[in-house]
Amino acid sequence: MAATALATASASPAGAEQARAARSPAEHPPTRPDPHTREARLSIPALGLDDLRVVRYEGTTDDRPGTRIQDRGHAASPYGPDGGVGPGEIGNHLVTAHRLSAGGPLRDLPSLDVGDRVLVTSGGTVHEYRITETRTTSFRSGRSLAEQRAEVPGHPGREATRAMITVSTCATPEDDAAGNFWRDGNGNPEHRIDKIGVLVSSRPA
């Protein structure tokens, strides 16, 4: 009799509504965006750079997928085993973009000074970093690449205890001026200019 009553109730609109309400929420868990794939926006006030789209992807700095993202005029931010962490997270948040091509969004990056602000907006939060140093990375040195991609920039194997950022672009003019015309398979020159920063605050956007 109970089974018949339930079937009769479910057949009506009201009964169907009651049946849906009786289901466990676990049957339909809410969908949330993966923070590792959530896009972000990059602003560097000292350079007049505002709201540059940052595309997250699984990979490593300046690999083929990352270079293709940069070729569209965006910044690329790799995650995964060979990438970095997300904005505001403990570790090294890696962001790369072109200096000369695709509109050259980071054309003025070499002039960024210690203390200058870098703002990354993601998921309704603005993460503010302050530049602390400049590093140079060589694509022809495994050690140099490991230093760029390390949890603590410049120190492979060291465990991170704070949130940091590496904003990177090519050193093409400097390499060409020195007579170094080497390029990798993606057209990248040997050297990269990396600006390193530490997180100083996170606030609602």
pLDDT 10s per residue in the chain (205 long)? Answer: 444 444 444 445 455 455 444 444 445 444 445 556 678 999 999 999 999 999 999 999 999 999 999 999 999 999 999 999 999 999 999 999 999 999 999 999 999 999 999 999 999 999 999 999 999 999 999 999 999 999 999 999 999 999 999 999 999 999 999 999 999 999 999 999 999 999 999 999 9
- CATH classification number, 40-204, choose in 2.30.30.60, 2.40.260.10, 3.40.50.10490, 2.30.110.10: 2.40.260.10
200: closest CA among 93, 126, 143, 107?
126
Torsion angle in degrees (nearest 10) through CA of 124, 129, 134, 140: -30
Q: Do the beta carbons of residue 181 and residue 190 sit within 8 Å? A: no
192: closest CA among 158, 147, 162, 128?
147
Instruction: Tell me the whole-structure pTM to 2 decimals.
Output: 0.83
Domain boundaries, the chain: 1-31, 40-204
133: closest CA among 106, 166, 105?
166
98: closest CA among 36, 182, 186, 33?
186
- 9 burial type by CB count under 10 A (0-12 exposed, 13-18 middle, 19+ buried): middle
Neighbours of 96 (CB within 10 A): 25
